[in-house]
Chains A and B, each alone.
Chain A
Amino acid sequence: MGLLDKAIAWGEKKSPWIIHFNAGACNGCDIEVVDALTPQYDLERLGILQQGSPRHADVLVCTGAVTLQTRDRLKQIYDQMSTPKFVVAVGTCACTGGIFDSCYCVTGGIDTVIPVDAYIPGCAVRPEAIIDAVGKLLATLDAKEAGK
């Protein structure tokens, strides 16, 4: 592993930047994602920052069942992110399509469009669950590094 790769891996683990995309959620999980970033839960203390542009982000935090209109956009956003990149599916809808599965305008969970690294079930997901999932995702990065 070169020096640059090491620096990227270290930065990713210590300060993952997230981008939030609503692929057709009811808003419930979205406000909980924002909630996790505000004072009560404050994800920023773990070095996590919300970014506006997919090109600056390491983790795509995705909520909602994927609708036909957002499907291509979701793929575009994923493609715009630089590697290594991770996807977190927040909420039951994002995991499987949930209550909206079988609706005519819904393709299903996020993993029907892009690969997903972590699933957080719940309707709506509690901020504690989001923090827990982020912690576990970071732990897998540690494990991967140890494996190498």
Chain B
Amino acid sequence: MSERNDHKVVVPIGPQHPSLKEPGSFKITLDGEKVERAVIEIGYNHRGIEKACESRNYMQALYIIERVCGICSHAHTSCFCQAFEELAGLEVPRRAHYIRGIVGELERLHSHLLWLGVAAHEIGFDTLFMYTWRDRELVLDLLARIGGNRVNYGVNTYGGVRRDLESELMADILRVCDQLEEKLKYYAALALTETTLIARLKGIGVLTPDDVRKFSAVGPVARAAGIMADTRIVEPYGVYQEIAVTPIVDDHCDVYGRTLVRVKEMLEAIRLIRLFVREIPDGPISVRAPRKLPVGEVLSRVEAPRGENVHYIRSTGADMPDRVRVRAPTEANWHGMSHMLEGFQLADVPIIIAAIDPCYSCTDRAIHLVGGGINQLTDWESIRLHSIEQYKSRGIDPSTIKMREF
């Protein structure tokens, strides 16, 4: 399985591998047990979602967007709907915002529980894996009752939500919150006191605040380095404009910090769900949405469980988007991956990879990352110069157009 290269051993991992459920390929150059160089090859899950959206009308595109990722499907549709609503000038009813918030936080709970299980599995702590996945079923049952499906619930639509929450269901949500809170407190205590767990997670996969800025990491990876990168707080949207989220940061900068952030975020999600259920106003759950969008472009940001999710739509006034861009959180977090792996033991590789909660199906947007370091990145100005040259070759001179500030 391995090949020799200048007295160093190169171990290829993947794309089919036992630890993660998705295909990704890693070429790890080892010096003894130490990882000297890590080369990441992704793109196995590239299905051409952006192109698929551009060749379908908006209603059909929403179903494609929901299937960008099966774990954070609600975050993706929320982001896409939010972009659509902004461009169409729709006023979403308050009740719809609250329902989106409740489902979004339930999704965060199930995603983080899933992550905690997978991370525990990577360090050989299979008991915790089974415990968390058992508890996750409580959330999945709720989501199945809300949307009718366990994974892609299809709650969002343009202009609001498709499913209303009955008072009986909301009482059940509160009941499950009570049950889960008890278990989550146990996991939080476990993460803070269990010495073997701490010894296994502390000090590995380090990404300092400077690195976070350099590699533009998002979500729990950034928050574990003390950087408050949470779209719900930095740029509140929907229900978060009315109900504030408590910032959760940590200064460990390593895998342990990411674990703490996620466990605390689950407790925060429970607090938020309780608040949402208590404060939810009566009223309609959706407004009528147009079939076509006016000419324009829009960028929308939503905090998915893994970090900031960015969707872009450009419309030419037709019933189909002219361009769709999906920047999922894992895509931002991959850039620092080689840096996080280098210098650590081979045995730590699975947990370091798992610590960013990678979601390949979210990420694979025709990207081929080879090697580490920021020399791979192209800055905004050179992309602009490149595009100007491209247009000039077609006889158009766009150099007088001013850059749009975001």
A65, B47: Cβ atoms closer than 8 Å: yes
**Other contacts beyond A73-B44, A106-B47: 19, CB < 8 A:** A24-B46, A27-B69, A28-B70, A28-B71, A28-B151, A28-B152, A29-B151, A30-B70, A31-B70, A31-B114, A31-B151, A38-B117, A38-B134, A64-B45, A69-B44, A77-B16, A100-B52, A104-B48, A124-B151
| Per-position 1/0 for B111-134, Cβ under 8 A of A | 000100100000000000110011
Question: From B137, which residue of chain A is reached at the shortest CB distance?
Answer: A40
A73–B15 alpha-carbon span in the complex (Å): 8
Contacts of A21 in B (CB 8 A): 16, 23
Residues of A within 8 A of B26 (CB): none
Q: Report the minimum CB–CB distance from B118 to chain A (whole Å).
A: 9
A33 contact set on B, CB distance < 8 A = 21
Among B60-68, B78-86, B157-165, the one that faces the other chain is: B60-68
The answer to whether A24 touches B17 (Cβ under 8 A) is no
Are the C-beta atoms of A24 and B45 separated by less than 8 Å?
yes
Which residues of B are in contact with A by a Cβ distance under 8 Å? 15-18, 21-23, 43-49, 51-52, 63-64, 67-71, 73, 114, 117, 129-130, 133-134, 137, 140, 149-152, 359-361
Which residues of A in the span 15-32 have a Cβ within 8 Å of any Cβ on B?
19-32
Question: Is B130's CB under 8 angstroms from A38's CB?
Answer: yes
With the chains together, A142 CA to B200 CA distance in Å?
A: 46
Cα–Cα distance between A38 and B21 once the two chains are bound (Å): 14
Give min CB distance, A60 to chain B, whole Å.
10
Q: Does A47 contact B (CB under 8 A)?
A: no
Say whether, besides A99-B63, A124-B151, A24 and B47 are in contact (CB < 8 Å): yes
A69 and B48 contact, Cβ closer than 8 Å, known pairs A38-B130, A39-B130, A124-B70 = no
| Distance of B102 from chain A, by nearest CB (Å) | 21
Contact B18 A70 (CB under 8 A): no
For chain A, the bracket of interface size reads: 35 or more
Could you say which residues of chain B place their CB within 8 Å of the CB of A27?
A: 21-22, 69-71, 359-361
A77 to B134, CA, bound (A): 31
Residues of the B chain whose Cβ atoms lie less than 8 Å from the Cβ of A31: 21, 70-71, 114, 151
A140 cross-chain contacts in B, Cβ below 8 A: none
- Residues on B with beta carbons closer than 8 Å to the beta carbon of A104: 48, 51
B21 lies within 8 A of A100 (CB): no
Across the interface, B22 reaches (CB within 8 A) one of A22, A51, A69, A73, namely: A22
A26, B133: Cβ atoms closer than 8 Å: no
**A34, A106, A126: the one within 8 Å of B150 (CB):** A126
Task: Report if A11 contacts B (CB, 8 A).
Answer: no
Other-chain residue from B23, B67, B140 in contact with A99 (beta carbon distance below 8 A): B67
CA gap between A39 and B140 in the complex, in Å: 14
Residues of B within 8 A of A114 (CB): none
Of listed A19, A35, A51, residue having the most chain B CB within 10 A: A35
Question: Are the C-beta atoms of B137 and A124 separated by less than 8 Å?
Answer: no
A34 and B118 alpha carbons, distance in the complex (Å): 10
Instruction: Tell me if B47 and A124 are in contact (CB < 8 A).
Output: no
Given A24-B47, A39-B130: A70 and B15 within 8 A (CB)? yes
Q: By the criterion CB–CB under 8 Å, are B133 and A25 in contact? A: no
Interface string of A90-113 (1 = CB under 8 A from B): 000000000110111110000000
User: B47: which of A19, A67, A123 is its contact (CB, 8 Å)?
Assistant: A67
Docked complex Cα distance between A29 and B23 (Å): 14
A34, A40, A69, A77: the one within 8 Å of B21 (CB) = A34
Query: In the complex, which residue of chain A has the Cβ closest to the Cβ of B76?
Result: A26
Q: Which of A29, A99, A124 has the most CB of B within 10 A?
A: A99
- B159 CB to nearest chain A CB (Å): 23
Beta-carbon contact of A105 and B15 below 8 Å: no
Q: Could you say which of B44, B49, B130, B152 has the most chain A C-beta atoms within 10 Å of its C-beta?
A: B44
Report B-chain residues with C-beta under 8 Å of the C-beta of A82.
none
A52 CB within 8 Å of chain B: yes
B28 to chain A, nearest CB (A): 17
Minimum distance in angstroms from A41 CB to a CB of chain B: 9
User: Are A39 and B134 touching (Cβ within 8 A)?
Assistant: yes
Which residues of A are found within 8 Å of B140, using beta-carbon distances?
Answer: 35
B150 CB contacts on chain A under 8 angstroms: 32, 124, 126
With A26-B361, A27-B70, A53-B18 known as contacts, the answer to whether A103 contacts B47 (CB < 8 A) is yes
Q: Which residues of A contact B133 (CB under 8 A)?
A: 34-35, 38-40
Q: Which of B45, B68, B69, B361 gathers the greatest number of chain A CB atoms within 10 Å?
A: B45
Nearest-CB distance from A11 to chain B (Å)? 21
Assess whether B23 is in contact with A22, with CB atoms less than 8 Å apart. Answer: yes
Q: Which residues of B contact A53 (CB under 8 A)?
A: 18
> From B17, which residue of chain A is reached at the shortest CB distance?
A52
